[in-house]
Chains A and B, each alone.
Chain A
Amino acid sequence: MSVKVMIPTPLRPHAGGKADAEFQAKTVAEALAHLTAQYADLRKHLFTDDGSLRSFINVYVNGEDIRYLAQENTPTKDGDTIKIIPSIAGGGAACPAKRHSVGKPLRS
Chain B
Amino acid sequence: MAEPTTVSISTGLAERIRKHGAETYPHECCGALLGRDPDSGGGKRLREVLDCLPLANRREDSPNNRFSIAPLDVIEADRVAQARGIELIGWYHSHPDHPAKPSEYDRNHAWPWFSYIIVSVRAGVPEEMTSWRLNDDRSAYAQETVEIHSEATAQS
Query: Quick check: B64 and A100 within 8 Å, CB to CB?
Result: yes
Q: Which residue of B lies closest to A14 (CB)?
A: B136
Query: Quick check: B75 and A60 within 8 Å, CB to CB?
Result: yes
Number of inter-chain CB pairs below 8 Å = 104
Q: Which residue of B lies closest to A99 (CB)?
A: B64
User: What are the residues of chain A within 8 A of B64 when measuring CB–CB?
Assistant: 97, 99-100
Interface range on chain B: under 10, 10 to 19, 20 to 34, or 35 or more?
35 or more
User: What are the residues of chain B within 8 A of A100 when measuring CB–CB?
Assistant: 26, 64
Of the candidates A56, A63, A92, the one having the most CB atoms from chain B within 10 angstroms of its own CB is A92
Q: Which residue of A lies closest to B136 (CB)?
A: A13
Q: Which residue of B lies closest to A41 (CB)?
A: B136
- B30 → chain A closest CB, angstroms: 8
Whether a CB of chain B sits under 8 angstroms from the CB of A52 is no
How far, in angstroms, from A32 to B109 measured CA to CA in the complex?
22
Chain B interface (Cβ < 8 Å from any Cβ of A): 1, 25-28, 30, 59, 62, 64-69, 71, 74-75, 87-88, 91, 93-98, 102-106, 109-114, 116, 118, 123-124, 136
Can you sample 25 A-B contacts with CB below 8 Å?
A: A9-B88, A9-B113, A9-B114, A10-B114, A56-B109, A60-B75, A85-B74, A87-B69, A87-B109, A88-B69, A88-B91, A89-B66, A89-B69, A90-B110, A91-B62, A93-B95, A93-B103, A94-B105, A96-B62, A97-B64, A97-B97, A102-B26, A105-B25, A105-B26, A106-B97
